[in-house]
């Protein structure tokens, strides 16, 4: 039995982004109830040299969108990094999910051997489609989504593994 690229990419990104959206909305509800300043959570980082919560969420959505765009041969939607609230971050995540849900499996299937180029500043690195997904996009996606979850949990929001997994 073979596994298609769409099966190991689209539903994985979508499920965990849906979980991230749930986590952010739970944080938003608690911060609204307690009248806490959301900016303190958005700017929170686990260690001084790590990204803030806002940047962790931005990075996770960027990795999902950019990977699928490269595989599907389409342009990823441009999303500014200017979120100022938990609602803004959740909307970013929800927008990414909506865009991913608009990608047809046939656009991604068969791209295992496709050569794609990732541009990072003045550097360019080439990957095969499967290497982009398994060795770059998914590990980075999980790292940033997990760190965002950890920041929220560390700040007292009652979320658990089922929320992270997108299955509350």
Q: Does residue 78 lie in a domain region?
A: yes
Summarised one tens digit per residue, pLDDT across range 19-59 is: 999 999 999 999 999 999 999 999 999 999 999 999 999 99
Number of domains in the chain: 1
- Angle, helices 53-72 vs 86-101, to 10°: value is 10
Q: Does residue 5 lie in a domain region?
A: no
Q: Residue 110 in contact with residue 96, Cβ under 8 Å?
A: no
Residue 74 belongs to domain with CATH number: 1.20.120.450
pLDDT confidence of residue 168: 61
pLDDT confidence of residue 164: 85
Q: Does residue 55 lie in a domain region?
A: yes
Q: How far apart (Å, rounded) are the C-alpha atoms in residues 57 and 50?
A: 13
Tallying the residues shown for the chain, one arrives at 168
Q: What percent of the chain shows pLDDT beyond 90? A: 91
pLDDT confidence of residue 163: 87
pLDDT confidence of residue 22: 95
Q: Is the pLDDT of residue 1 over 90?
A: no
Q: Is the pLDDT of residue 72 over 70?
A: yes
Q: Does residue 2 lie in a domain region?
A: no
Task: Tell me the torsion sign for CA atoms 95, 99, 102, 108.
Answer: negative
Average pLDDT, the chain: 95
Query: Measuring CA to CA, which residue among 144, 126, 129 is closest to residue 51?
Result: 144
Q: Does residue 37 lie in a domain region?
A: yes
**Which is more confident, 71 or 2?**
71
Q: Is the pLDDT of residue 160 over 80?
A: yes
Average pLDDT for residues 116-121, to the nearest whole number? 92
Domain ranges, residue 39: 10-164
Q: Does residue 1 lie in a domain region?
A: no
**Token pair 């791209």 is at which residue?**
111
Q: What percent of the chain shows pLDDT beyond 70? A: 99
Q: How far apart (Å, rounded) are the C-alpha atoms in residues 112 and 109?
A: 8
């Amino acid at each position: 039995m073979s596994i298609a690229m769409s099966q190991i990419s689209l539903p994985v990104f979508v499920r965990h982004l849906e979980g991230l959206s749930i986590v952010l909305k739970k944080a938003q509800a608690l911060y609204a109830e307690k009248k806490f300043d959301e900016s303190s959570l958005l700017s929170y980082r686990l260690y001084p040299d790590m990204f803030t919560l806002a940047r962790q969420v931005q990075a996770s959505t960027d990795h999902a969108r950019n990977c699928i765009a490269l595989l599907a041969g389409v342009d990823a939607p441009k999303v500014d990094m200017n979120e100022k609230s938990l609602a803004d971050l959740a909307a970013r995540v929800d927008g990414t999910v909506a865009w991913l849900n608009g990608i047809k499996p046939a656009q991604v299937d068969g791209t295992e051997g496709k050569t794609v180029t990732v541009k990072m500043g003045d550097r360019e690195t080439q990957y095969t489609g499967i290497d982009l997904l398994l060795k770059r996009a998914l590990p980075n996606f999980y790292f940033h989504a997990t760190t965002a979850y950890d920041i929220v949990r560390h700040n007292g929001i009652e979320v658990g593994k089922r929320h992270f997994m997108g299955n509350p």
